[in-house]
Structure 1
């Protein structure tokens, strides 16, 4: 893929969740091109089937990560220890602005996939990493929303904040086993239309104002970043080039969260 650095990941076994589309699908393709041994997990079989056509030889796992026991069962079928895990699967539900618009359903949906599923998958994969004695790298896909006021996605921002804390706790606990844990926290991503999904739920005049403010606030003058910017950060953290980086929330946001 154009713009992706040639990090040395050849032969490394790496599991990617949420691999059917978006960042996850692009990551699987990048890892495949880097000759990694890729395990792609998705809820949607059709997406995995088409991905296998594009990347012959990858391993696929079809399971709903919101189901704790079925996820454990599916991952137990993988006998090999992973060298890397990317907890990419997640969900963002556009919602009306503010604290008082949050519903119990929003909270449950966001936390089930964005936090609980990460805990479950990480438990299963990290246990195998520890048993192998080889260590590994776990990368959690968080968001710049965890660091700033995000009134149009409050429950999403809250769960990504929880994911950042989980990342640091995992890093402390697993570091002794040579397992590094970091997060990548992207700004809005062009190809996933994340900003569009949020603002289109708003009145047109508010939508235009928010888009303009986001662009003006970012020091690099962009309202979104490219997928390749996220991929390069993930690949770096998976590779030995980052072998002493642990417990970090890597912001990929053009400076938005410090402005």
Structure 2
């Protein structure tokens, strides 16, 4: 039986992260070759080791990539001629990211937009440029968020030091529109970009937050990162051949 991503070469940017590393493992399981790219090779290798990913696997190539560096990104795409699709799971941010609304300076806000949204723009632009030069079908998946779709439910952060960063909401909503803008601009059925917008993903949050969040869902609460992977694999595959410019929400009803 043919696997979902047989004979495909897929670029995972941010491969050392929680979602990126799991995607690397699952793409290989589905028969695809992976170019795993991250700004920090050491952390990426350690994450792979924790997941049992063999870094010597013939289906895996490790690369350095700084998604906020225009020269680096452009040179990266010149190295390859056989990329069939990509996932941008990067999450660049500065040291003051995550401050409460009234504590966010304009300088910090602008810097975070430049890093995260600017990086998403650059990566999307260069994927489109790569397609125009190669002419080969290409599917890009951008990672947005439920908070790129709806306003934050601030009450779930009561009794915690956490908040929903204003920069995050601005960036994730804009990523959805850059996705639509770019596929409309390229206007070619062979080039597709879609978004996946997860709800909250479990990552050592306090119990009071987890319970408050769960009450806003249909019962599952915060998602495990593995709950997001299936939609990304689908969008990278031929099963979604004419799906483009769309946003798939995975949130167990949190946004309803």
Whether TM-score is above 0.5 comes out as: yes
Shift of 1:101: 2.8
The verdict on how the C-alpha distance between 1:134 and 1:75 changes in structure 2, with shifts beyond 3 A counting, is closer
Whole-Å separation in 1 of the counterparts to 2:201 and 2:139? 24
Aligned residue for 1:160? Answer: 172
Whole-Å separation in 1 of the counterparts to 2:91 and 2:26? 20
TM-score, with normalisation over the residues of structure 2?
0.83
Whole-Å separation in 2 of the counterparts to 1:29 and 1:109? 32
Encode CA deviations 1:205-256: one digit per residue, 9 max, x unaligned: xx83x544322111x2233112121100100111111112111111011111
Whole-Å separation in 2 of the counterparts to 1:177 and 1:215? 39
Aligned residues: 236
Aligned residue for 2:159? Answer: none
Q: Does 1:239 align with 2:251?
A: no
Report SS of the residue matched to 1:176. coil
- Describe how 1:64-79 pairs up with structure 2 within 5 A: 64-76=66-78, 78-79=79-80
- Describe how 1:165-244 pairs up with structure 2 within 5 A: 165-190=177-202, 192-193=203-204, 196=205, 208=208, 210-218=209-217, 220-244=218-242
Shift of 1:74: 3.1
Report SS of the residue matched to 1:156. helix
Aligned residue for 1:54? Answer: 54
Structure 2 residue ranges without an equivalent (≥5)? 155-162
Task: Kindly report the root-mean-square deviation, in angstroms, between the aligned alpha carbons of the 2 structures.
Answer: 2.3
Structure 1 residue ranges without an equivalent (≥5)? 1-5, 201-206
Q: Report the structure, 1 or 2, having the larger helix content.
A: 1
Report SS of the residue matched to 2:179. helix
Shift of 1:102: 2.3
Name segments (4+ residues, structure 1) moved above 6 Å.
Answer: none
Shift of 1:64: 2.2
Report SS of the residue matched to 2:43. helix
Report SS of the residue matched to 1:257. coil
Asked if the contact 1:171–1:182 (Cα under 8 Å) also holds between the matched residues in 2, the reply is no
TM-score, with normalisation over the residues of structure 1?
0.82
Whole-Å separation in 1 of the counterparts to 2:185 and 2:3? 27
